[in-house]
Structure 1
Amino acid sequence: MVAGTVGTAHAVRLEAVRKVYGSGDRAVTALDDVTVGLRRGAFTAVMGPSGSGKSTFLHCAAGLDRPTSGRVLLGDTDLSGLKEDALTALRRRRIGFVFQAYNLLPSLTVRQNITLPLRFAGARPDEAWLFEVVTRVGIADRLDHRPAELSGGQQQRVAIARALVTRPELLLADEPTGALDTRTGRQVLGLLRDLVDTTGQTVLMVTHDPVAASYAHSVLFLADGRLAGEIFEPTPALVVERLTRLGEW
C-alpha cells in the first residue's frame, strides 16, 4: 500500500441530485438538490435523523440508485450515462461495500469470502495484495476458518478485507458497527481510520452514532433530504451539538 494524504480532488461528487420515490400525492423526496464532493483519501461520515436521506445518499453515490435528476460522478465517470450492466461492472471494480450485516457466505472459508468479488469479475487474486490486506485488518491467521468460527468483530474485518481486495476507489460503509459491542466497534472504526490515514483509501460511512462519526475527518449532515452543514475534525460533543440544531436549517 502507498501512503496517501487528504487531497482536494473528489473521489465521488453529487451535482444537483434529486431523488423522488413514488408519484403524485404519494411522492416522497428523499434527496433535494444535493451538491457535494467527497474528498479523495478522506474519511467522511454522513449523519441525520431517520428519513433525512442518508441511505439514499449512499445508494446514489454507489450507483445502486439512479437520481431522478442531477448526476453522480465517480472520479471522472458520470454514472447517469451507464447502463445497468456497466454499472454492475463498475461497482465490482471501483467500489467496496461494508454493511451492518456482514453478508458472508457461511459455506465458504474466510479466504473464499474475501476473494469472491474477484471471482465474480473473472480475476485472480494478487497474493501479495491479499496478504497485505488480511494482515492489515488482523485476520491473516483466520483464512481457513468459516464465518461461524469467528466473532462478530472478526467477521466485520473479513467484510472490510473483501471490500478492499479489488483496490476500490471508494469504500462505502453503512452502519458498519451497528451489530458490534462498543469495544469491538471502536476497534473496527480505528481500523477504517487507519486505512484512510496510511493508505489514502477513501471511505464514506453512514452512521447514527456520534462516537462513530468522530473517527471521520469530517461529518456531513442531512435534514429533510437537504445538506445541513459539515464539520471538520469532529468530536462526539460537536456532533451531538450540531444534530440538536438541524431544525434551524
Structure 2
Amino acid sequence: MTTVMDGLSCAVRLESVHKTYGDGEAAVHALNGVSVGLRRGSFTAVMGPSGSGKSTFLHCASGLDRPTSGKVLLGDTDLTTLKEKELTELRRERVGFVFQAYNLLDSLTVEQNIVLPLRLANKPFDPEFLAEVARSVEVHVPMDRRPGTLSGGQRQRVAIARALVTRPDVMFLDEPTGALDTRTARQVLEALRHAVDRWQQTSVMVTHDPVAASYADTVLFLADGRIVDELPRSEPERIAERMAHLGEW
C-alpha cells in the first residue's frame, strides 16, 4: 500500500524507503519500499505488530537512522543527502522527540529541561512563549521544581513541552504513554491532542495502544516493513479490530 500526498503539503515524505539490517541470509528487511506523505499540521499514529518496522519507520523519518535506499524529506530537505553533522543540527533545530523514557535531567529544573534544546542551539527563549507551551500541555508545576519530584505524567508533559519549545517542523513520539497508567496516559494524550490543535504541530506517534492511536487524525498500519492499511480518526475498538486482522489487508 502506498500513501503519497502532494510534496508541497507534506511535512515529512518517504519515497520507496528500504531499510535492511545485516547481510545475506541473516539480513532483516525492517522497511520494504515504504512511500508515504504526512500532511503539515496532522497527527499520525503508526501501529503494527512487534517486528513490523514501527521503530525503524520513526528512526528513518526523523533522521535518527539512514535508509538503505530511498528518500526521506523533511519539507524540501532530503535527509539522505546530509552529512552526520548536518543531520545533528537539523534534528536539534527542526525536529522534536518524545520517548517512553522521559530523558529529563534531574540536575536541571523543569524550566531548564524545557529550554535545553534552545540553549544547546545557542538560541534565546521567549518566557511568554515558554509559559504558553507549558500551559498548552498542562505542566501545572512550579518551573523551579526538579523532575525527580514529579509524577510520571507530569514528567512526560515536561518532555512534550521540551519538544514543542523549538517550534519544530515535526514532533516524533515513540510510545509516549507506554510507562504510564491508564488514567495518566489519557490525560497526557488529551494534553498532546490539545497542543497539536493549538499549534497545528505535525506529530508522528508510534504506539501499540489503540486508545492512544484514537487521538490521532490518521492511523497507519505496518506489517512486514510495509504500510498495509490506514484509518482516519477512529474509536479504539475499530483500531483494535483492524490490528487484529492486519493479515487480511
TM-score by length of 1: 0.95
In 1, Cα distance between the equivalents of 2:185 and 2:161?
16
In 2, Cα distance between the equivalents of 1:193 and 1:44?
11
Identical aligned pairs, as a percentage?
Answer: 67
Cα pair 2:173 2:203 within 8 Å, conserved: yes
Which range moved further: 130-139 or 30-39?
A: 130-139
Which secondary structure state, in structure 1, belongs to the residue aligned with residue 144 of structure 2?
coil
Q: Which whole-Å deviations, capped at 9, do the CAs of 1:70-90 have from their partners, x for residues lacking one?
A: 000001110011001000100
Cα pair 2:137 2:192 within 8 Å, conserved: no
CA RMSD after TM alignment: 1.1
Matching of residue 204 in structure 1 with residue 211 in structure 2:
no
> Hey, what does 2:3 align to over in structure 1?
none
In 1, Cα distance between the equivalents of 2:165 and 2:175?
20
In 2, Cα distance between the equivalents of 1:53 and 1:130?
35
Give 1:60 deviation, angstroms: 0.4
Unmatched 5+ residue regions in structure 2?
1-7
> Hey, what does 1:124 align to over in structure 2?
124
Give the partner amino acid of 2:67.
Answer: P
Give 1:138 deviation, angstroms: 2.0
> Hey, what does 1:11 align to over in structure 2?
11
Which range moved further: 64-73 or 229-238?
A: 229-238
Q: Which whole-Å deviations, capped at 9, do the CAs of 1:186-240 have from their partners, x for residues lacking one?
A: 0111111111222211110000001110111110000000111100021111111
Which secondary structure state, in structure 1, belongs to the residue aligned with residue 122 of structure 2?
coil
Give 1:245 deviation, angstroms: 1.5
Give the partner amino acid of 2:35.
Answer: T
Give the partner amino acid of 2:90.
Answer: L
Count of residue correspondences: 242
In 2, Cα distance between the equivalents of 1:234 and 1:83?
40
Kindly report structure 1 stretches of 4+ aligned residues shifted beyond 4 Å.
Answer: none
> Hey, what does 1:179 align to over in structure 2?
179
Cα pair 2:43 2:217 within 8 Å, conserved: yes
Alignment of 1:19-30 (within 5 A): 19-30=19-30
Which secondary structure state, in structure 2, belongs to the residue aligned with residue 234 of structure 1?
coil
Cα pair 1:195 1:201 within 8 Å, conserved: yes
Matching of residue 138 in structure 1 with residue 161 in structure 2:
no
Cα pair 1:131 1:140 within 8 Å, conserved: no
